Amino acid sequence: MLSKKQARAFFLGGTLVTFLAFIGLTIFSLSKDVDQTNSENITEAVVRGKNLWDSNNCMGCHTLLGEGGYYAPELTKVIDRRGKGYIKAVLMTPVPWEPNGRKMVAYGFDEGQAEDIIAFFDWIDDIDLNGFGEVVGVDRKISPLSQNDDE
């Protein structure tokens, strides 16, 4: 059993070690070597695309980087999944669109606006997300309903 003096020393020592670890990790996480924001690649088109994203309340239905509405698909890494041509066609369509029974407003963006939103998505896709949004360990050639050959 610890005496009061030993318990106080143990508490203060543990507090000091924890505080120093916190300060060290804070400094490390704010250093340029571990910057994952991709901020050096922000262009005017990316800014315009972000402004269009915000002004049209796209986040009301879609999620981006895990934030937003859950009505419509997650759009992080959408260029990798669908391609720029598909996204451009969806953004520029003049008629309301109903994929899988969910209605999307026909914004009818012009080509420049669609390119700006695609630039924004492309910039988002280049952020180091530590694996978020990627399908890991899934072979898309194998049907999930297929049986194991070993059985």
- Alpha carbon distance 8, 112 (integer Å): 66
Closest alpha carbon to 52 in 119, 131, 97, 4: 119
Backbone angles phi, psi at 43, to 5 degrees: -115, 175
Residues above pLDDT 70, as percent of the chain: 83
pLDDT class of 39 with cuts at 50, 70, 90: confident
The pLDDT value recorded for residue 32 is 72
| Highest mean predicted confidence (pLDDT) among 50-54, 63-67, 75-79, 82-86 | 50-54
Taking the model in full, what pTM does it have?
0.67
Backbone angles phi, psi at 74, to 5 degrees: -65, 130
pLDDT class of 35 with cuts at 50, 70, 90: low
pLDDT at 142 > cutoff 80: no
pLDDT per position as a tens digit, 94-105: 888 787 778 888
The residues, any chain, with a CB within 8 Å of residue 46's CB and separated by 6 or more, are 116, 119, 120, 122, 123
pLDDT at 150 > cutoff 60: no
Mean pLDDT, residues 96-125 taken together: 89
The residues, any chain, with a CB within 8 Å of residue 8's CB and separated by 6 or more, are none
Mean pLDDT, residues 108-133 taken together: 86
Alpha helices in 31-83 (DSSP H): 44-55, 78-82
pLDDT at 59 > cutoff 70: yes
Secondary element (H or E) of residue 64: strand 63-64
Contact 117, 49 (CB under 8 A): yes
